[in-house]
Amino acid sequence: MAEIAVFASGNGSNFQRLVEALRDTRHSVSSLICDRKDAYVLERARLLGIPSYIVSYEGKSREEAEREIISTLKEYDISLIVLAGFMRLLSPQFVDTYPDRIINIHPSLLPKYPGTKGIEESYYSGDRELGITIHRVDYGLDTGPILFQKSFKRTGGESLKEIEERIHALEHKYYPEVIIELLDSIETENSKNY
C-alpha cells in the first residue's frame, strides 16, 4: 500500500476523483495541502474525510511556507506528491526534497500553454488538437519529463465551456490511472529493496 499527498489551490475536482479512484485500490490519499483558506477543495476534503492542511504563503517567504509543508508531510509516509491545480511554483529545494516524487497535471499539450490559463490559451490558439499532460515536476513552470498525454481533435464549433468540460473529463479519467500505475510500480520497487 502506498499513500499520496495532494496539493491543490481551488475547486478540487481532480482531488475528489483521486480520493474516490484510490478507494478501489490498495493505495490512498492521506492528506490535502492547500494554500488558500477559501478554496472549495477544503470542503471536498471535509466531506470525503481526508485531513487537510492550510499552508498560507501570505506574509512569509516561499521557503518558510514550504518548510511548514515539509514538516506536515513528515507525519505521513508519502510515496508521491500529486499536484492537482496547485497554482504555485515549488522551489528547487522543495523539489529536491522529494526527488522524482512530484507529479503534476496540466490542461494543455505541454510544452504549449504552461501557466494558470492552459485551457483558455489552448482554446483561443485555434489549434485543432487539444489535450492534457501529466508530468514529473522539475524546477520550471509546468515543465519536467512528460509521463502521459492525451489529445482530441475539436471541430471548431465548440464553446469554451464545452472544451473545458472535455479537458476535465480527460483529467478525471487519466490522472487516477497514471497515479495508480506509478504507485503500483513504487510498491513493487520497495518490496524488491526490502
For ligand GAR, the binding residues (CB under 6 A) are 8, 10-15, 84-85, 105-107, 116, 118, 142, 171
Answer positive or negative: Cα dihedral of 175, 176, 180, 186. positive
Report the residue number, 89 or 187, with the smaller CB distance to ligand GAR: 89
- The least distance separating ligand GAR from the CB of residue 151, rounded to whole angstroms, comes to 14
CB nearer to ligand GAR: pick between 13 and 72: 13
Q: Given the C-alpha cell 478554496, which residue does it identify?
A: 39
Q: What are phi and psi of 81, to 5 degrees?
A: -100, 130
Instruction: Please say which residue, 146 or 187, places its beta carbon nearer to ligand GAR.
Output: 146
Q: Is-catalytic flag, 168?
A: no
Cα–Cα distance measured from residue 181 to residue 71, given in angstroms and rounded to the nearest whole number: 27
Nearest residue to ligand GAR, by Cβ distance, number only:
85
**In whole angstroms, how far apart are CA 156 and each of 86, 121, 132?**
30, 15, 18
Provide the minimum distance between the beta carbon of 34 and ligand GAR in the complex, in angstroms, as a whole number: 10
Q: Which of 141, 148, 146, 139 is nearest to 177 (CA)?
A: 148
Among residues 106, 135, 168, 172, the one annotated as catalytic is: 106
Minimal distance in Å, beta carbon 167 to ligand GAR?
Answer: 7
**Residues annotated as part of the active site:** 106
